[in-house]
A and B are shown apart, each in its own frame.
Chain A
Amino acid sequence: MWKNKLFWMELTFIFAIVFILISYKLPQGKVMYKKTGRYVIGTYDYGLFISQASNDYFYNVSPLDFYIKNGYSISDKKNYLLAQNNNYNKTNSLPKIEQLYYSIASYFSLTQPFALFDSLNENVKLTSSTKDDVVRFTLISPNKNLSDKNIFMTMSFNENDLIIDNNGYMYTKINEYEKAGLKNLYDIEIRDINDISQTILSIDRSAEFIVIINKNMPGLIKISNTDNAYKLGNIDKEKMLISIAVQNSEQPFFEINFQERLQ
């Protein structure tokens, strides 16, 4: 009788412990994140974001914005890679025990954030991996047909960002004071690109890299062209997206580089 009672007490205790754990409300936006330098990479409803602590500017990498381009002109029709409607990042609705695991692993810097989406009942995964100040975003899809397409991965930017390539071409609006300031700081001569009024601006083919400098945040983000993995594509000023044409591959990727100053 006593042993029976002890057994049920023990079971109640174990149940209580598990229940206390799974009922704990996680701090908002702190399920999966990774701090790297002054930036933090985390998950949001539509993918992964890059930001800085105590700053309200976000750079989003969302597979819902990724597209397959038909034709060669930048104005050609885009076919989005994933269904746009009611398609959310599933990492925010993972089982609670997994959320707890990722939150704790993130605290100890042991996780690399990823985003999961449905595509024709199959999981499409956007992963991030960091090494020093470089972050690689990789698209993993079970759909092998992707490797035959011209896929563009994207990253969003902000209203007050300056986007410049290594030749000094400026893809966003800049005033004379800011030009003088950049000249003063980096000794670069800023040049306006042709057709700045266009909504979609093609990135100069001779550009080796572009940098994104937020006027109100320290540091900058650099995206470089690579010979065989991805190439800088265009800048959509309406959708506030930078497109990167990734190489046909089963796991296409692009990398960004965090820097303190322009080197």
Chain B
Amino acid sequence: MTLTDMFAAFSFYFIPILIGSGLKLLPRVIKSHKYSERDFGESVFFLGSSFILGALALFVGAISIDYFYEGDFIKIYSNLIFILLGLAILTIFLYVLRNKINFNINKLGLSFLVVILALITYSTWRADARTNTTLNWDLYHHQVLANKIKRGEFEIVTSNMSDTFQYDGYSTIFHLLLATPKILFKTDILNYWWFLEFFHLSTTIAISYAVAYFFTNNKHVGVFGMFFGAFIFESTGAYTSLFLIPQNLAATIGALFISYYVFKKDINKHQILRVDLVIISFIVYILLNHLIIGTFCIVFLMAVKVYLTIKSRFNIVKTDAVLAILAVIATIIILLLISRIDLNWINRGEAAFYNFDLATKFKFLHNFYGISLYIFLPLGLFYILRERESKKIILLLFTFAAFALLLGQIPYTFKLYSVGRYFTNAFLALGVWVLIKGQKEGISILNTIMLGFMLFIIFILNTVGFKQTPSYKELATHISENEIKAAEFLKKNYSNNSNVMLVSDPSTMQILEPLAEVNTPGGAYATTDTREVLNKIYLTRENDSITNNLFLIKDLVETTKPTKILLAVSKRLEIWENLSDERKYGIFYNVWAPADLDLQDLAGFGFTDFLTNYTRFNTVFANDTITIFEVSRLEPIF
């Protein structure tokens, strides 16, 4: 079972890459092509661009099936996957037959290093979070959409599929990719995600190498970049390396593409960025994957184009210095303008919670990097200013822009840093290299180990801080064994039934909905109206009033009115009910960790006891963490 989960997780990347590779190699099979040896970074880019093409092929296929075909979506979509995979394998086979592919020991060594670093980081990260636990809160609402797609309910727009998504920041391409392996393999959701995030981490490490290498054309810097990529974890806001969510996937691919295009442009030959199929597919994919991160990546890419165009066409004395100063001035002006606009209202006031003051931001940066930022960044800066090489100047400007954005008084800047972290890590890697270049091989290896050890210690301490919140018994998790049992019960008895709605505090709804496959009104993103009802039922404690109020709750997507409501009562609900109004009604706060019933509840003083003894709610499931009640609508529906 676990092997299947692991292979299914691997397939999240493998299926699109295989299909995309077939598409990319097809012209080279038809027309004779000379195989050229690539660096590891370029191979990573090949896989990244293949992933994009494959993902787009699957998404276009799914849209076509949904639009043109009335029948069983899953059946046709499965056939499409098999056909595309078959054609891709045939193309790759023919390509390999026609080209002599050399074995490259360097690439193998670097691949091995990626795996080793990923294993060290992930086993440390998951030391107290085994396969049936989660540390990524967002996976639950993404899984809700993946479940729907797996059932054949495909839509392009997220808010049409579930009211957990009330803001369309991205299409369902990410969720289609999530669902694709689950359509082919029978998997356990939590195990699947556990392995999936390992593969996500591996890709971010490989791409960290590629970004550092592309900007500096130096394999040593690439390797140091890999270490920074593995051990620097943005434990607030971005969570780039360890959480697979649309913004992080988009940022990772975006950083790879931007750096590759910097690498590929030889400004001495007066070349400028050409708009080709690869770049068009990148732009389309990145916007579908995440609108805001995608837009930022495109802005970065355009900045590269503008910079290189000016640099190659106009022979201004000290062009780099002039451009750098202009870029810095432009960034400051834009930041000042944006900072004057009140953006705290975004996402029902959630934005205000993510609008940190400067001292807090520096504290977070210290958690991520320690003071390595203040030591290696100036060294990198000194080197770049001395060398004045265009690619490194671009890296400098990007890192500067990322930090300017991060430190600006704008909400969500730490989320946007998921792109910026790749540039910063490359910059830091360059700073390390400046300090230890020229040493003998043995000392270089020793230095690399020392660097890795230092970053590893920072990673552990950063992780300790992060795990203070999702902490339950000896585990770090958002979900407990008892909650999983409750979800299994619900799945067995109520799943995919449009007449039933599961209601509880937002956190319990968030974790149970994807695992139980029972609809909830918005999960952790429940509306203010729903939250008011939850508040009212806890305080009223009157039988009919509770029932009537519960049936007033509306799902924003599901049109069928439920005839039965399942009310999940747990310690989480009680904790939520006793929160301040700001936390209770704001979507920024959740009861992140599981909580078990205490003496008050067990001895019969709690809400559970009241519902059991004084209402017509039927207990259908109970354990030491959660009790689930079932109640039917009082009046018939007309």
Contacts and interface: CB of A to CB of B under 8 A. Distances in A.
A23 B366 CA distance: 10
A165 B376 CA distance: 61
A218 interface: yes
Interface in A92-137: 100, 103-104, 106-109
B600 A38 contact: no
B571 to A, nearest CB: 8
Interface in A16-32: 16-17, 19-21, 23-27, 30
A103 B464 contact: yes
A104 B127 CA distance: 12
A100 B436 contact: no
Nearest to B447: A13
Interface in A40-94: 53-54
Contacts of B571: 218
Contacts of B595: 54, 218
B604 A10 contact: no
Q: How large is the interface on B (under 10, 10 to 19, 20 to 34, 35 or more residues)?
A: 35 or more
A33 B381 CA distance: 40
A153 B366 CA distance: 41
Interface in B578-624: 593, 595-600, 602-605, 624
Given A26-B461, A38-B473, A10 B443 contact: yes
Interface string A216-229: 11110000000000
Given A17-B450, A216-B600, A107 B605 contact: no
B599 A35 contact: no
A21 B598 contact: no
A215 interface: yes
B375 interface: yes
Contact of A216 (B443, B472, B598): B598
A182 interface: yes
A217 B600 CA distance: 9
Contact of B465 (A12, A30, A178): A30
Given A9-B435, A20-B372, A30-B468, A218 B598 contact: yes
B268 interface: no
Q: How large is the interface on A (under 10, 10 to 19, 20 to 34, 35 or more residues)?
A: 35 or more
Given A26-B461, A53-B471, A107-B460, A14 B598 contact: no
A107 B463 CA distance: 9
Contact of B457 (A100, A182, A219): A100
Given A20-B371, A107-B463, A37 B597 contact: no
B441 interface: no
A177 B603 CA distance: 9
28 contacts: A6-B438, A13-B432, A13-B436, A13-B450, A17-B451, A17-B454, A19-B375, A20-B370, A20-B371, A20-B375, A20-B458, A21-B458, A24-B366, A24-B458, A30-B468, A103-B460, A107-B127, A107-B460, A107-B464, A177-B605, A178-B605, A181-B599, A181-B603, A185-B599, A215-B600, A216-B598, A216-B599, A218-B595
Interface of A: 2, 6, 9-10, 12-14, 16-17, 19-21, 23-27, 30, 35-38, 53-54, 100, 103-104, 106-109, 162, 177-178, 180-182, 184-185, 213-219, 260
Question: Nearest 4 A-B pairs (CB), nearest first?
Answer: A181-B603, A53-B471, A27-B465, A218-B596
Interface of B: 127-128, 366, 370-372, 375-376, 432, 435-436, 438-439, 443, 447, 450-451, 453-454, 457-458, 460-461, 463-465, 468, 471-474, 571, 593, 595-600, 602-605, 624
Given A104-B460, A108-B127, A181-B604, 11 more contacts: A9-B435, A13-B436, A14-B450, A21-B454, A104-B461, A178-B603, A185-B604, A215-B598, A215-B600, A216-B599, A260-B624
